[in-house]
């Protein structure tokens, strides 16, 4: 079970404070941010932790929130109509996890800087 922590002290189990509806609300706001061209990264503060870690980082990006933001900017630079369409959301209340199955669409109308590998 995951816990909210302050320093190293567990305060509350996340499962005890996050309902299915709350989890879906947060994940929907996150997806809405991704689907907004030029969205302000500060708007992610309400739905993503500053110390977010991507389990599968994007090539050439850091595996954190700033790497995710940069990757999103690169996607819009390559396809100004970039969009993720939600196909299905799977919620695990015990683990406080939401998995989105999405369709990625967009027409390439620009180029991004090459990624250094």
Q: How confident is the model at residue 113 (pLDDT cuts 50, 70, 90)?
A: low
**Residue 79 domain-assigned?**
yes
Q: pLDDT band at residue 17, thresholds of 50, 70 and 90?
A: confident
pLDDT, tens digit, 9 for 90 and up, residues 35-51: 999 999 999 888 888 88
In-domain check, residue 110: no
Any domain includes 2: no
Residue 68 lies in a domain: yes
Are 29 and 20 in contact, with CB atoms under 8 Å apart?
A: no
- Is 60 a domain residue? yes
Q: Does residue 112 lie in a domain region?
A: no
High-pLDDT (> 90) share of the chain, %: 50
- CATH assignment of the domain containing 88: 3.10.450.50
pLDDT in tens, 55-105: 888 888 899 999 999 999 989 998 999 999 999 999 998 888 899 999 999
* 3-state SS, one letter per residue, for the chain: CCEEEECCEEEEEHHHHCCHHHHHHHHHHHHHHHCCCCCCHHHHHHCCCCCCECCCCCCCCCCEHHHHHHHHHHHHHHCCCCEEEEEEEEEECCCCEEEEEEEEECCCCCCCCCCCC
pLDDT score at 114: 57
Across 19-44, average pLDDT = 93
Domain-embedded: residue 111: no
Domain membership of residue 44 (yes or no) is: yes
Task: Look at the chain and report how many structural domains it folds into.
Answer: 1
- Name the residue range of residue 47's domain: 10-105
């Amino acid at each position: 079970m995951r816990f909210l922590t302050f320093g190293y002290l567990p305060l509350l189990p996340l499962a005890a404070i996050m309902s299915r509806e709350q989890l879906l609300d947060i994940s929907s706001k996150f997806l809405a941010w991704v689907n907004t061209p030029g969205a302000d990264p500060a708007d992610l503060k309400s739905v993503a932790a500053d110390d977010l870690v991507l389990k599968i980082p994007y090539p050439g990006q850091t595996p954190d929130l700033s790497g995710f933001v940069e990757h999103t900017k690169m996607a819009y630079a390559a396809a100004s109509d970039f969009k993720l369409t939600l196909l299905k959301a799977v919620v695990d209340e015990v683990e406080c996890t939401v998995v989105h199955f999405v369709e990625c669409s967009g027409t390439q109308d620009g180029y991004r800087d090459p990624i250094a590998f």
